[in-house]
């Protein structure tokens, strides 16, 4: 695809441009996510509720939370919101446009990510290759498209990784102009720690390709950049605490296997991830692609992360093309179809952006955006209020909604706050793996109402034991209250 035609006139050249492939990809992904996915997909996780609630608290108090203020089980215990900036953005978007705001914001972050990926790939390979890889990455990442902080951090991660790779291939240390990216990432999402891992990985790649005489000085410059990046990660309201908070997630041990997005990849059924792996293996065998040991380690590291936790599928999908970009383009003699200096004509941008904004406004005005009912048991909560319970034992999917309704929760999606032991005990109780655990929770915490999903095994036990009465049930929730028996 040509993105511009150069015409000579009076000794000067001007660009009569077509819209480049990366912008088309961005527009298409934005429309796809907004129209075909929309609220039912982007808002299908109840964590979105408490993410917005935290952002609103920050806006209201002009401060950041440092202790838990949402549960009665961990009230007052230390807790930091490492995604505070993303939460403020989501809260602001909600205040401006209701649920349409977070949906549009998340769709914009996703669109920017794949537009940027296409733009990066387009510097080294033909447009058809760049668009094809972006589409494949989109399909592989689809399962983690949610209105949550991580989608706002994805384009920042891509830009950071590409900056590191470019420096490595030039045989230089990265520019300090990259530092604002890691600072932004550290304030958007706790995954910024992976950005530090990438520094080490691309540093090894740079050293492997450097002349022996230059390796010592290059190593020192990369090390200095790494130290500066580590310091930049602390440029958050929590300082060093941001690093410590990010680590708590990795210390959850067995609990990670019970949280869906932290579960390992499932190959019991053939799916996009398995297809991707087989395609890559087949392509590498057929094309004879060779990588340096540091890049092999990077590929294997990304694959291991995706195999270990399905939430890392998008990291694999987005970063693997960057790692493989130069070797594949060089060994297959691929050439880009557009110049890196090609610019988008101002009239094109002036027309595209207002049209896109107007279309978004029309869509929002004619589409009811709302969180799926199974995450928002509004009727059950209204029924519960009539009994004025002081302490509610809630199922995990309802934690975000109860926080939204300003009801103290027993548990919610902040696993790093509750810890492995607490959440494992809760899981065993709800699944009736240990009936005494459930009875102990009801007694220890003086629970006077229980709000669970209909398929939770504990519902059946509460229907049969004395002291509890089912007072409300629908397809989304079952409510039991304590009786005086």
Flag whether 233 is in a domain. Answer: yes
**What pLDDT does residue 351 have?**
64
**What pLDDT does residue 161 have?**
97
Flag whether 352 is in a domain. Answer: no
Query: What's the first-to-final CA gap in the chain, in angstroms?
Result: 76
Q: Is residue 341 domain-shared with residue 426, that is, in the same domain? A: no
Flag whether 368 is in a domain. Answer: no
CA distance to 44, 164, 229, 424, per residue, from 85 (Å): 21, 24, 19, 30
Closest to 160 measured CA to CA, from 248, 225, 221 = 225
Domain that holds residue 96: 18-346
Residues 312-339 pLDDT 10s: 999 999 999 999 998 988 888 887 755 4
CB atoms within 10 A of CB 338: 20
Closest to 14 measured CA to CA, from 295, 276, 346, 439 = 346
**What pLDDT does residue 18 have?**
53
Contact 1, 127 (CB under 8 A): yes
Flag whether 351 is in a domain. Answer: no
Q: Is residue 304 domain-shared with residue 403, that is, in the same domain? A: no
- pTM (two decimals): 0.89
Q: Is residue 279 domain-shared with residue 388, that is, in the same domain? A: no
Structural domain ending residue among the three candidates 325, 346, 367: 346
Q: Is residue 278 domain-shared with residue 384, that is, in the same domain? A: no
Flag whether 408 is in a domain. Answer: yes
Q: Which residue has the tokens 């691309």?
A: 202
Q: Is residue 306 domain-shared with residue 390, that is, in the same domain? A: no
CA 379, chain centre distance (Å)? 30
Q: Is residue 148 domain-shared with residue 53, that is, in the same domain? A: yes
- Name residues whose C-beta falls within 8 Å of residue 411's C-beta, 6 or more positions apart in sequence: 71, 73, 394, 396, 399, 418, 422, 423, 426
- Which contiguous run of DSSP H or E holds residue 130? helix 127-141
Q: Is residue 200 domain-shared with residue 339, that is, in the same domain? A: yes
Flag whether 320 is in a domain. Answer: yes
Q: Is residue 245 domain-shared with residue 163, that is, in the same domain? A: yes
Structural domain ending residue among the three candidates 328, 346, 364: 346
Q: Is residue 170 domain-shared with residue 118, that is, in the same domain? A: yes
- Percent of the chain having pLDDT more than 70? 87
Q: How many domains does the structure of the chain reveal?
A: 2
Low-confidence ranges of the chain (pLDDT < 70): 1-19, 249-260, 337-353, 355-357, 359, 361-368, 485
**What pLDDT does residue 369 have?**
72
**What pLDDT does residue 13 have?**
34
Q: Which residue has the tokens 């995604």?
A: 83
DSSP H helical ranges for 309-457: 313-331, 346-366, 378-385, 399-404, 415-430, 435-444
- Name residues whose C-beta falls within 8 Å of residue 307's C-beta, 6 or more positions apart in sequence: 264, 265
Flag whether 458 is in a domain. Answer: yes
**What pLDDT does residue 287 have?**
85
Structural domain ending residue among the three candidates 346, 367, 397: 346
Flag whether 363 is in a domain. Answer: no
Q: Is residue 387 domain-shared with residue 331, that is, in the same domain? A: no
Q: Is residue 285 domain-shared with residue 382, that is, in the same domain? A: no
Q: Is residue 28 domain-shared with residue 139, that is, in the same domain? A: yes
């Amino acid at each position: 695809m040509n993105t511009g035609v150069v015409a000579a006139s009076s000794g000067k050249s001007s660009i009569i441009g077509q819209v480049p492939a990366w912008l088309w990809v961005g527009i298409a992904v934005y429309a796809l996510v907004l129209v075909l996915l929309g609220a039912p997909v982007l808002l299908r996780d109840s964590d979105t509720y408490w993410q917005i609630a935290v952002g609103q608290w920050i806006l209201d108090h002009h401060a950041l939370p440092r202790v838990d203020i949402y549960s009665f089980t961990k009230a007052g215990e230390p807790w930091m919101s490492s995604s505070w900036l993303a939460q403020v953005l989501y809260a602001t978007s909600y205040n401006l446009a209701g649920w349409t705001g977070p949906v549009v914001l998340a769709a914009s972050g996703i669109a920017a990510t794949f537009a940027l990926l296409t733009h990066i790939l387009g510097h080294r390979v033909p447009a058809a290759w760049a668009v094809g890889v972006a589409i494949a990455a989109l399909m592989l990442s689809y399962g983690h498209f949610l209105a949550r902080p991580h989608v706002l951090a994805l384009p920042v991660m891509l830009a950071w990784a590409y900056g590191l790779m470019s420096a490595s291939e030039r045989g230089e240390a990265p520019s300090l102009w990259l530092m604002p990216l890691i600072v932004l990432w550290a304030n958007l999402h706790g995954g910024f720690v992976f950005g530090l891992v990438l520094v080490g990985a691309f540093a090894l790649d740079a050293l492997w390709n450097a002349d022996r005489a230059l390796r010592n000085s290059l190593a020192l410059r990369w090390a200095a950049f790494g130290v500066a990046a580590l310091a930049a990660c602390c440029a958050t309201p929590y300082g060093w605490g941001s690093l410590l908070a990010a680590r708590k997630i990795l210390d959850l041990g067995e609990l990670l296997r019970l949280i869906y997005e932290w579960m390992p990849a499932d190959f019991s059924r053939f799916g996009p991830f398995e297809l991707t792996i087989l395609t890559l293996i087949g392509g590498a065998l057929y094309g004879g692609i060779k990588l340096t040991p540091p890049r092999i380690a990077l590929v294997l590291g990304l694959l291991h992360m995706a195999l270990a936790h399905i939430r890392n599928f998008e990291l694999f999908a987005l970063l693997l093309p960057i790692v493989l970009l130069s070797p594949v383009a060089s060994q297959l003699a691929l050439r880009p179809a557009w110049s890196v200096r090609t610019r988008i004509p101002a009239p094109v941008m002036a027309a595209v952006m207002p049209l896109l904004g107007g279309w978004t406004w029309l869509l929002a005005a004619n589409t009811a955006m709302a969180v799926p009912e199974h995450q928002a048991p509004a009727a059950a909560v209204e029924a519960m209020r009539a009994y004025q319970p002081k302490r509610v034992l809630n199922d995990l999917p309802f934690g975000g909604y109860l926080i939204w309704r300003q009801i103290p929760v027993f548990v919610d999606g902040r696993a790093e706050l509750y810890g492995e032991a607490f959440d494992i005990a809760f899981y065993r109780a709800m699944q009736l793996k240990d009936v005494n655990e459930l009875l102990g929770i009801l007694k220890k915490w003086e629970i006077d109402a229980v709000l669970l999903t209909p398929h939770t095994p504990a519902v059946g036990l509460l229907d049969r034991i004395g002291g509890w009465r089912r007072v409300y049930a629908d397809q989304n929730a079952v409510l039991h209250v304590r009786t005086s028996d």
